[in-house]
Amino acid sequence: MTWSEQTRQALHRWLAPDTWHKRHPLDDARFSVFVASVWNDVHSLWDEAETREKIAREAIELHPECDDLAKKVAETRVSEGTAILDFLCHLRDHGQMGLLSP
């Protein structure tokens, strides 16, 4: 799975702040932008194992002291992201993407 530069930057913006793992509303918003960017790239579900690896690797690169935490957060957030992407796939498959805009 290849992500665009926009998606890689969204991942970095989500993980770079020190609060990345604390479920702060701003971090949740940055995570949502990351998932939206993935959707924009692939318009499908992501490979969960590969995505967990990419998230953990980026988090560890940014916060080397957080190896175990990075893996735990990656696990949780990938599950959440999969639910979001699954929802978007369902809307797309049923021709209901218009429900997302006024």
Tens place of pLDDT for every residue, the chain, 102 residues?
789 999 999 999 999 999 999 999 999 999 999 999 999 999 999 999 999 999 999 999 999 999 999 999 999 999 999 999 999 999 999 999 999 998
Q: Is residue 102 a part of any domain in this protein?
A: no
The pLDDT, as a whole number, for residue 96 is 96
Distance CA 6, CA 70 (A): 22
Q: Is residue 78 a part of any domain in this protein?
A: yes
The pLDDT, as a whole number, for residue 22 is 93
The pLDDT, as a whole number, for residue 65 is 95
- Total domains in the chain come to 1
Other residues' Cβ atoms within 10 Å of the Cβ of residue 12: 14
Evaluated on CA atoms 66, 64, 19, 31, the torsion sign reads: negative
Closest to 20 (Cα-Cα) out of 81, 74, 82: 74
- CA neighbours closer than 13 Å in the CB half-sphere of residue 66: 23
Domain that holds residue 79: 5-97
Q: Is residue 85 a part of any domain in this protein?
A: yes
Other residues' Cβ atoms within 10 Å of the Cβ of residue 54: 19
Q: Are 42 and 1 within 8 A, CB to CB?
A: yes
The pLDDT, as a whole number, for residue 1 is 77
